Amino acid sequence: MAVLAPVLALLYSLPGLCRWLARPYYPLSALLATAFLLVRKVPPLCQGLPSQREDGNPCDFDWREVEILMFLSAIVMMKNRRSITVEQHIGNIFMFSKVANAILFFRLDIRMGLLYLTLCIVFLMTCKPPLYMGPEYIKYFSDKTIDEELDRDKRVTWIVEFFANWSSECQSFAPIFADLSLKYNCSGLHFGKVDVGRYTDVSTRSAQRGLPRELLAPAHCLGSLSASPFCHRYKVSTSPLSKQLPTLILFQGGTETMRRPQIDKKGRAVSWTFSEENVIREFNLNELYQKAKKQSKPREEVPEEASGTQSAPGHPDGETKKDQ
């Protein structure tokens, strides 16, 4: 029985594994991550390579290479302690393995190091990580539709993710957010996404919502980065150093009531783990879901097609993932 369980688990995950291997990003990443191992261990390739071993065997690691590989293993283990999904684990292994490979190749021969570094740059520019294309109940916003949709019905609560396709953290969180949308989406609680990597002005512009007409911000607030009390902004930095991607914002009554990660007084993001359990707990999704269902009961008789505020799963109004 102890042997049968892993075999059944492997057979169950075999279709997903085949789809995973069919994507060129992962096989090529694995090839780059194991490049030095192949060069050092495969006899036709390792012949003639320099080695600091006492026996002079060029097809075996010397003591310095073993130290670098052990240090790589320790770094990967430390980084993977906070990983949530399998993609995050694999992504950390690939990233740090490539760094270690570059160091090992440069130590071996500067020409081999330059060649490996060039291959990594070409791979980074031409081969992007595959986007999540599974089932979801999420509406994709553009820079022109997000304000309009949030203002359409103030009774609807929105949880909006601000993301960028180049961010590995956003890609890892995508299936989690999609699963949450399938579990908690209803007529009074909707899920949305904005690609701030594509629509950069969304993260900095003003959005005047939830204020009476006499308190609306003047025209000079629009596009301004000044801290005016009448100018509400999403303020999601797209810099990789800011660690603000992804950002989840809860909108109730058309105004922001909560966001994760939080931003401290110095403008830095407070570390927060984007796991399904954390999102459910921090945003009180169970309570929001029950409250949204009770509030939407009088409107349940209105067909969704007539209301125009809800889309079918996997086919949101406006933009789709293919458009991204």
**Residues 180-204 pLDDT 10s:** 999 999 989 999 999 888 877 776 5
Instruction: Average the pLDDT over 135-164 and give the result.
Output: 89
Gap between the Cα atoms of 194 and 15, Å rounded: 31
Gap between the Cα atoms of 37 and 258, Å rounded: 48
Adjacent-strand bridge partners of 315: 312
pTM of the full predicted structure?
0.64
Instruction: Average the pLDDT over 28-37 and give the result.
Output: 92
Whether 229 has a pLDDT exceeding 50, the answer reads no
Domains of the chain plus CATH, in order, are 17-126 (no CATH), 139-205+226-294 (3.40.30.10)
Q: What is the pLDDT of residue 35?
A: 93
Whether 254 has a pLDDT exceeding 90, the answer reads no
Bigger pLDDT: 246 vs 228: 246
Gap between the Cα atoms of 127 and 118, Å rounded: 14
Whether 13 has a pLDDT exceeding 80, the answer reads no
Gap between the Cα atoms of 138 and 202, Å rounded: 18
Q: What are phi and psi of 251, to 5 degrees?
A: -110, 120
Gap between the Cα atoms of 196 and 165, Å rounded: 9
Gap between the Cα atoms of 194 and 161, Å rounded: 6
Residue 280 pLDDT class (50, 70, 90 cuts)? very high
Bigger pLDDT: 5 vs 170: 170
* Separate counts of helices (H) and strands (E) for the chain: 12, 5
Sheet-wide strand order for 157-163: 139-141, 189-195, 157-163, 247-252, 255-260
